[in-house]
Amino acid sequence: MNNKIGFFIIMLLLMTVMNTACSAPGPHIQIEGFWVVQPPGVARGTAGYGIIKNTGNESDTLLKVSSDVGFVMLHKTDVVNGVGKMMHISQSVIKAGESLVLEPMSYHLMLSDMDDRIYNEGETATLTFEFEKSGIIKVEVPIKPSWQDK
């Protein structure tokens, strides 16, 4: 009988510790589905797309994105009176439980001054995301011929 009570107490403590660990305060950033468009042979720039999710319980700020294949800036395209205008976004707050979706005609990464190797389909690029609270997150992303092939 005492073994059953001891086992029950240990299981209860274990569940409490696991529940506390799973609900730890702070942002929890996930980088998903990113890829970079293979630029045409004459271009020195292209775009990158994907999703940045914050599954935590605190906001976090994306401070900077960099890459091993070129200079990177976060941009947003807005259509005003039928004309698309691209704006540089210096930082982006990703609230708890929300996502920043990077896709054509919206938020996206602009890559410029690019390395020649990105022109080969099947290559990869390293994207480095720097967050205020979550620090640095690096991901390897594929180079794909066009946004339609993602």
- Model confidence at 147, pLDDT cuts 50, 70, 90, reads low
The pTM of the whole model exceeds 0.85: no
- Dump pLDDT digits (tens) for 83-115: 889 999 999 999 999 999 999 999 999 999 987
Domains, the chain, in order of start with CATH, read 25-149 (2.60.40.1890)
> For residues 32 and 42, which has the higher predicted lDDT (pLDDT)?
32
The pLDDT, as a whole number, for residue 13 is 60
Q: Which residues contact 11 (CB under 8 A, 6 or more apart)?
A: none
DSSP secondary structure letter of residue 117:
G
Task: Compute the average pLDDT of residues 124-140.
Answer: 97
DSSP secondary structure letter of residue 14:
H
Q: How far apart are CA 2 and CA 8, in angstroms?
A: 10
> For residues 148 and 55, which has the higher predicted lDDT (pLDDT)?
55
A 10 A CB-CB count for 34 gives: 20
Q: Which residues contact 36 (CB under 8 A, 6 or more apart)?
A: 46, 47, 48, 69, 109, 111, 118, 125, 127, 141, 142, 143, 144
